[in-house]
Amino acid sequence: MRKLFAKPKNGLHGNLAVPGDKSISHRGIMFGSISEGKTILHHFLTADDCLSTLAAFKQLGVPIKRDGDEVEIRGVGLNGLSGTFEPLEMGNSGTTTRLIMGLLAGQRFNSILVGDASLSKRPMKRVSEPLSLMGADISVNDGHLPVVIHGTQLHGVDYQLKVASAQVKSSLILAALQADKPSTFVEKLPTRNHTEKMLNAFGADIETESDNLTIHVQPKPKLHGLELTIPGDMSSAAFFMVAGTLVPNSEVRLNNVGINDTRTGLLRILEKMGGNVELENRQDNGEPTADLVVKSANLKPIQIGAKDIPDVIDELPLVALLAARANGHSKITGASELRVKETDRIAAVSNEFKKLGIDISELPDGFDINGSDSWKPQTNTLDSHGDHRIGMTDAIAALLVDQPMNLNNPDIVSISYPEFFDDLQKLL
């Protein structure tokens, strides 16, 4: 149990460089490993999930050295991975698991993927079923881990994705790189495009049409290593954007944050709600970045539907927190994907917010929230539900009540942001 910070008298102030982007850190290890030559990653996220990816590719025979947040990868090429008799340990990382399924499906060896109790409850058929249409031979245990992959020759396909998921799309793209002919994938809604952008930087031939939904993948590219500085993670910066917005008398600067269009849903939501966020020092070295300057603001309620969800999927607990502080009625729908995250995030957010005295109702695919700036907590103990993003959302919510709060299972934040509590302390 950890005692959380109580409401600060003078607001939050200071500069932070948030950790490297989680999505890009995962992909940097994977794409560097299947390239030829050396890849160097600067500002790599040293959180548990990304370290699971790093360990898995070392186990697959890739020489990788890490010194703090700098990683050097000696790539083995698309066909150079080595099989292992030991299962590959995925830890808690859904990204590692789902992306590696597409990659290993086209290799010349068999693999077994295992993970922790939380990951073992998450759905894997959403990946294995479309991969099977490409000829993949994958056994999933009642739709979950452990997953057994029998590497085989894959075939190009034209496929319409059934779920709006960057992980599923990325898995299919990695399979398509190894197929016998080109593939075309059509998304339901645009999702994060880091896989397409980064693979093209490594030398792949992936074209996205102007609809931002149709993706053409040419097989058998010659990928080459590169040097990459990973921008700050928007999903980590989001906690301090929301804290700076909601805690009165605050001004917070978040340096060098990635502002890829597919990741800035929270910025757009804050703008609609009347938030005060300025973007300064914009740069673009493959992935666009900016410094975010956040000041306190009084917010208006908001209505969010399915089309808004993919760009803000990881930040939805924080969007619910913004709505809980905005005076009036907000509604979030189209977010049933939250039910199958590290925990059922719809149930977990509703449970924790009710403890704080927030008027929130759980919907099948979201939340109904009557916002107010005066909450009356029912307890002094919150719970992370074994989910890093719920734990960090609880910590930001605790800054908005007068009494000190405690948090059960706080160490889970190390999944994505090991320095979270230290960084929050700096702003206090």
From 220, 215, 223, 163, select the one nearest 198 (Cα to Cα): 223
Does 67 participate in catalysis according to the annotation?
A: no
Handedness of CA 43, 49, 55, 57 (dihedral sign): negative
The two tokens of residue 94 are: 């859904």
State which amino acid sits at residue 40. I
User: What contacts 68, CB < 8 A, 6 or more positions away?
Assistant: 46
From 164, 163, 112, 155, select the one nearest 131 (Cα to Cα): 155
d(CA 226, CA 202): 7
What Rg, from alpha-carbon coordinates, does the chain have? 21
> CB-side exposure of 4: number of CA atoms within 13 Å?
29
d(CA 190, CA 193): 8
d(CA 214, CA 375): 46
> According to the 3-state scheme, what is the secondary structure of 347-404?
HHHHHHHHHCCCEEEEECCEEEEEECCCCCCCCCEEECCCCHHHHHHHHHHHCCCCCC
Enter the DSSP assignment of 151. Answer: -
Choose, from 21, 49, 291, 314, the residue flagged as catalytic.
Answer: 314
Overall size of the chain counted in residues: 428
Catalytic residues: 314
